[in-house]
Amino acid sequence: MKIICTRCKTVMGEQKPYKDSTEIKATCTACIEKAKEEAARFVPEPEPRDGQEITLENGLKGTLWVAKDKKGKLSFGEMVVSGKKFYCLSNGREKFQAYLGGLTGEEADVSLLHSITCKIDPPLRGRRKKQDPPKTEEPKKDESIHYNCTIRVPKHYIQLMFDDMAERMDKVAKILAEAVLKTYREESKTAQLSLDKP
């Protein structure tokens, strides 16, 4: 009887009775490794493009755009409503609400940070034209690309977005504060212990 790999049909071995032509199905180590590799393969999402239209988790459609300068680079927790930037924290809610109320129309544009991708320098040698002067070392710039997403939504929805983000930011702030407190407590405990030692 032959032991055959079901995937690649390699004969892995033989066993008694040798005259029996029945195949014993198995998987060879190479195929097991290959299957593992395939399962672990990372399939990244397609890279965002400038001007790309995307559908957000909540079904809203937005447009992606690249932040060209420092001002346009938003961080998590920030929100631009009709051109004004806000940092979403619950203690800024009233101010935000007043601003939103002062806007004309039922809808407004909201921009949020969508994603950040890291740019890898393309090989210069192949791309540089002959007449270009040789490149001198430039100071390292921030190579990341910030993609923002802009959506047009009803004003009441913008308030919900702010509240949702503020809640998350408050949680983050709380976690950070707790971590600091914990470290402080542990440190003072250690200090106390070393003081207690005779």
Query: Where on the chain is the footprint of Zn ion (CB under 5 A)?
Result: 5, 7-8, 28, 31
Q: Quote the CA–CA distance of 74 and 60 in Å, as a whole number.
A: 20
Tokens linked to 118: 């890291």
- The CB-of-16 to Zn ion minimum distance in angstroms stands at 23
Query: 84-87 and 78-81: which strand pairing?
Result: antiparallel
User: In the bound complex, what is the minimum distance in angstroms from residue 22's beta carbon to Zn ion?
Assistant: 19
Closer residue to Zn ion (CB): 12 or 60? 12
Residue 182 makes CB contacts below 8 A (sequence gap 6+) with none
Closest separation in Å from C-beta 30 to Zn ion: 5
Q: Which is nearer to Zn ion, 10 or 159 (CB)?
A: 10
Do the strands 2-5 and 23-26 form a parallel or antiparallel pair, or are they unpaired? Answer: parallel
Distance CA 28, CA 6 (A): 8
Count how many Cα atoms sit within 13 Å of the Cα of residue 158 in the half-sphere of its side chain.
Answer: 28
Considering the complex, state which of residue 32 and residue 172 has its C-beta at the smaller distance from Zn ion.
32
Q: Measured from the CB atom, is 29 or 55 closer to Zn ion?
A: 29
